[in-house]
Structure 1
Amino acid sequence: MNKNRSLLFLIKNIEVEYPQTFKKLKYEVDFPIFEKQVVLFTGRSGIGKSTLFLLLNGILSKIYSCNISGDVFYFNGNTYENIIENYPENIKKRLGYLGQNPYTQIVNPRVIDELVFGMENHQFSKEEMNRNAVKFSNLFGLSYKLNDKTKTLSGGYCQRLNLASIVSYEPDIILLDEPVSFLDSNAAKSFYNTIKSIKGEKTIIIIEHLFEQILDIVDNALIFVNGDEKPDEKIISIIKGKEYGIARVSPENKISQIEREKEYIQIESKEVFEKDKEINIKENNIKEKLYSLLKIEPKREIKEEIKIKLKAENVFFRYNRNSEFIFENLNFEFESGQVIGIIGENGCGKSTFLQLVSGILKPEKGSVKIIYPNKKSNESNKKTYKYVSILFQNPESSFFFPLVKDEILHQIKKEKEIDENLLELIHPNFFDIVQNFNRSAFTLSEGEKRRLGFIIQLLMNRPIRLYDEPTYAQDYNRVESMNKIMKYCKKQNILQIIVSHDFDFLKTICDRVYLIKNKGLEFLY
């Protein structure tokens, strides 16, 4: 299969140590990447796939100042060099990189400026820039948004713009980290058709968790596993006859776990306590350790939740008087215990819908009401935040403190207790609270950030919970865990509204699914 192709990268054993954190990753791997291949990177969320991308594009050492050792050889004709020791300048001119978070990669105020930014840096002529700007703005559905401000774009359109900007300057090597997670089904299909059209011309490396749709174009795969664990049987069954390699990633701490047990933790109440040095955090004592860290008492019995209703009547909304209405005469009624799915094309107003429900945005006409005991049914609730929590499309919008422990402790400081059933669903399989307790939330992987944002929302214990693309950057097992948590919340009488492009996930959890169309909600099932 690779006899007639030249070797481009050879990835050998690597160690990466992030500064000012306890995180150190050891990669046991021996994996070749050949010119003009399409290569899939997959594995559990947060294991270190994106870290390897950052190493390949030179960001890891220069921007993150990581300490890196090992061998990643770059072959250029008859010569090769270790990019860990010296990152060659000619790779930069050949390489395009799409990061996980679509918001953080945009630097220009207008769409057209962002689209041509890469071409300008690579010294394209005006004729070439104009030609490619027209070609790729049409391909990614951006032609009517070229004069828009980038800050007004939805997450899906930010992703389209990033993809268009990268592909337009025609790099030889393209690194794509979860490229279609924010795209609707039509845009995702169009993008991968583009990848198919350039297959055999470019070297393309793609990180994907839900990768069935691209298997027909993948030449080789690298499966990331934790230490000595076996590869996920579901991944192996899906990949089937494809060639694949294994990257065994072992996270280590710069100091031992027992030494970390001797640390002091500052609690929100300003009470300081020294954790028990003898606590064994493995096996049977993991719960005791967790409750010690959180300084809470578990509870099994859950108070019966009171029924509420969420009702919209004749809602009209637009962002300013000179723009078109996004919603016209919008009406709906949902109630406690329901799980509602919302789908639609990029830019149709899905995130806007959640912000209207949450009270972040106010309708120009009409009202969104929460009908609750001791409140008049015809009175709009002016304190919606007391009843609603939201997982934003960008999970960093939910972070306010320097460390994971501060985010979690802030939410539970009043009650000093947590539902033990819920905690068992969260820790450690969905999110390892103990391992990440002293990490900065902003240094987590995108998948871990989303799970932390999800947990923060759970701990707020609001009767209405809104989720904007919750399964983004999650592997199969974490999606299954999220499904179980949402079903548990349903039993607790929580009203949950999910905006997602992951229709398969919605089918497993939702009571009703609606399509945003013609400036309103259209019932699907």
Structure 2
Amino acid sequence: MALYEINHLTFTYPLHPIPTLQDINLSIHKGDFVLLFGPSGSGKSTLLRQLKKEVWPVGERTGTLVFEGQLLEHLPNDKSASRIGMVFQNPDQQIVMSTVYEELAFGMENLGFDPKEMQRRIGEISTFLGINHWLYKSTSELSGGQKQLLNLASVMTLYPDVLLLDEPTSQLDPIATQNFLNILGRLNEEFSITIIMTEHHLEEVFPLVDMVYVLEKGMLTYTGKVREAIYTLYKKDVASLMGYLPSVSRLYMQIEHEALASQLPLTPKEAKVWFDKLPEEYFHPLQLELASPSPSEVPILLSCQDIYFQYTKDSPLVLERIRLDVPMGAFLAILGGNGSGKSTFLKVLAGILPALKGKIKTKASIGYLPQNPMALFHEPTVLSQLQNALPQKLSQDEEDELSKLISFLSLQPLLEHHPYDLSGGEMQKVALATVLLTKPDLLLLDEPTKGLDPYFKKQLAQYLNALLQQGKTIIMVSHDMEFVARYATLTTLMFSGKLLSLQPTTAFFSNNVFYTTSIHRTVKARLPHAITLEEVNHLVRN
């Protein structure tokens, strides 16, 4: 008997003329690790929320949802709460208590657990997940990665049979992401916990999963085992889905003329074994050279001299002795772990937070996109939100610019919606449009690709490149290694409030072990300076 049986599920939100989910049919078995993916707005989060009745969205639902042979709506509340756990995209939205211990106890207290049983479970789960040394910390002191791990631990104290995860790594740095996914893999392998997750960053997720489900425009368009799914979707060559497939798998299929699904590599380790055996005649004689530094004659648009910042007089320094010169027309990416000070630095540059010491010199007009796009929303509809970013009396050129931006970002179907009712990716698009309409010379972007699907990321990159061609300058904080490697011209790393190693992007990724791409890990022995799939394709004969 399947754990979940979903039959002819259709769901429509209030006031929406078109169903968000249309005639969904699928079975999920105990112990499966299921990946659910598809373009932004395809209904992934809505489908995931259908699997736990406590978080059912308001709307009209038809069809049946069965959990272990019982209609989900008839599952007793205590069983539903304990057996089906859910971890959301934003770590802060799930934490309700002030200390880690209280947060771990919260769910069990609500279900009436004996205090001794609560203590035993907290001790067991916190030790297994490696969080026992910060049990008595304030939850406000935790980094984004620690908060997400705490959310997982809180769910796990109830010994769930199912874990539902809605883009759980979207706000985590690469190392925290890998640690979080490794734990999910252990929970699935060692305890047969069924895991159903949505994700946009899939390089590290594909090696863990058994089954793949693809959603497009609210419909389930593909179901299959992981290698067969990647192989089939690659052969179909659907532009909106190609970017989801692991870069090492695409590399194999682009080079290997007799590619087999059974031999498809999912990890850099698997791909490296194959790549290192390629005959020399596969490689072009030219070698990719490291990009040279920006010419010294390019004017400096922004200069930071010994910037310090702390939130209170008694708190530790968040930023310390930051020196940075950003040339006009550069696309600078700032990488680093959660809590290293990246977002704080952008706020200081934007003038939202005052520097404790130091000088920031720039004559540029600044546009700032915060990590939480909801901070920009003050109007009841998307259209009024965008119109509010422009002068009250619009010229014809400004009306044309607004229309072009709405078209480019595919915002037309969302114009009459409240911004708070949008998906995470849709919110990000509206927030970006709000900032771009102010026509800044210097664009400060805090995690602009968060919640965006790969297809739109490529479109976003094209738009940002067009801005660069117009003489704009971009500083972006990001955890998205693949996006940075492809499009940024300069990259630096923030560690403990300090900026380290400002370099051209190719040099930066070529010299790193952890902060680099899957492609570079695969090919570095033979192509030491190649960091993207496109670069490898340029150097290898297909």
The TM tier, using the shorter chain, reads 0.7 to 0.9
Match of 2:59 among 36, 59, 66: 66
Unaligned runs of 5+ in 2: 234-297, 504-542
Percent identical: 30
Q: Does 1:431 align with 2:409?
A: yes
> What letter matches 1:317 in structure 2?
F
Q: Does 1:54 align with 2:42?
A: no
More strand by share: 1
Q: Does 1:332 align with 2:332?
A: no
Q: Which residue of 2 aligns with 1:104?
A: 93
Aligned ranges 1:406-485 → 2 under 5 Å: 406-414=384-392, 415-416=394-395, 417-418=397-398, 424=404, 426-428=405-407, 431-485=409-463
* 8 A Cα contact 1:101 1:394, kept in partner: no
Q: Offset of 1:409 from its aligned partner?
A: 1.1
> What letter matches 1:444 in structure 2?
L
Q: Which residue of 2 aligns with 1:210?
A: 201
> What letter matches 1:164 in structure 2?
A
Q: Does 1:239 align with 2:217?
A: no
Q: Offset of 1:141 from its aligned partner?
A: 7.1
How many matched pairs?
432
- Corresponding residue SS for 1:195: helix
Q: Deviations over 1:144-174 (max 9, x none)?
A: 6655544455544433332332234331110
- Corresponding residue SS for 1:361: coil
Q: Offset of 1:122 from its aligned partner?
A: 4.2
Q: Which residue of 2 aligns with 1:29?
A: 24
* 8 A Cα contact 1:308 1:371, kept in partner: no
Q: Does 1:343 align with 2:335?
A: yes
Q: Offset of 1:183 from its aligned partner?
A: 1.3
Q: Which residue of 1 aligns with 2:348?
A: 356
* 8 A Cα contact 2:9 2:21, kept in partner: yes
Change (3 A) 1:199 1:326: same
Match of 2:82 among 87, 90, 93: 93
Q: Offset of 1:9 from its aligned partner?
A: 0.8
> What letter matches 1:224 in structure 2?
L
* 8 A Cα contact 1:337 1:495, kept in partner: yes
Change (3 A) 1:10 1:331: same
C-alpha separation in 1, matches of 2:29 and 2:221? 26
Aligned ranges 1:214-363 → 2 under 5 Å: 214-226=205-217, 239-240=230-231, 309-363=301-355
Q: Which residue of 1 aligns with 2:10?
A: 15
Q: Structure 1 residue runs of 4+, over 6 Å off? A: 138-141, 227-232, 235-238
Q: Deviations over 1:251-293 (max 9, x none)?
A: xxxxxxxxxxxxxxxxxxxxxxxxxxxxxxxxxxxxxxxxxxx
After the TM superposition, which of the residue ranges 113-122 and 332-341 deviates more from structure 2?
113-122
Q: Which residue of 2 aligns with 1:403?
A: 381
Change (3 A) 1:135 1:523: farther
C-alpha separation in 2, matches of 1:524 and 1:134? 43
> What letter matches 1:465 in structure 2?
L
C-alpha separation in 2, matches of 1:105 and 1:413? 38
C-alpha separation in 2, matches of 1:420 and 1:509? 27
* 8 A Cα contact 1:22 1:439, kept in partner: no
Match of 2:150 among 161, 174, 182: 161
TM-score by length of structure 2 reads 0.72
C-alpha separation in 1, matches of 2:212 and 2:320? 47
Q: Which residue of 2 aligns with 1:511?
A: 489
Change (3 A) 1:427 1:354: same
C-alpha separation in 2, matches of 1:8 and 1:311? 58
TM-score by length of structure 1 reads 0.75
* 8 A Cα contact 1:312 1:369, kept in partner: yes
* 8 A Cα contact 1:140 1:187, kept in partner: no
Q: Which residue of 2 aligns with 1:179?
A: 168
More helix by share: 2
Change (3 A) 1:133 1:356: farther
* 8 A Cα contact 2:172 2:479, kept in partner: yes
Change (3 A) 1:408 1:231: farther
Q: Offset of 1:23 from its aligned partner?
A: 5.6
* 8 A Cα contact 1:184 1:344, kept in partner: yes
After the TM superposition, which of the residue ranges 148-157 and 204-213 deviates more from structure 2?
148-157
* 8 A Cα contact 2:10 2:24, kept in partner: no
* 8 A Cα contact 1:11 1:32, kept in partner: yes
- Corresponding residue SS for 1:401: coil
- Corresponding residue SS for 1:71: strand
C-alpha separation in 2, matches of 1:143 and 1:494? 47
C-alpha separation in 2, matches of 1:368 and 1:396? 27
Change (3 A) 1:498 1:146: farther
C-alpha separation in 2, matches of 1:50 and 1:214? 17
After the TM superposition, which of the residue ranges 218-227 and 125-134 deviates more from structure 2?
125-134
Q: Offset of 1:225 from its aligned partner?
A: 1.4
Q: Offset of 1:522 from its aligned partner?
A: 0.6
RMSD (Å) for aligned C-alpha atoms: 3.0
Unaligned runs of 5+ in 1: 1-5, 243-305, 373-386
* 8 A Cα contact 1:392 1:467, kept in partner: yes
* 8 A Cα contact 1:307 1:493, kept in partner: no
* 8 A Cα contact 1:12 1:31, kept in partner: yes
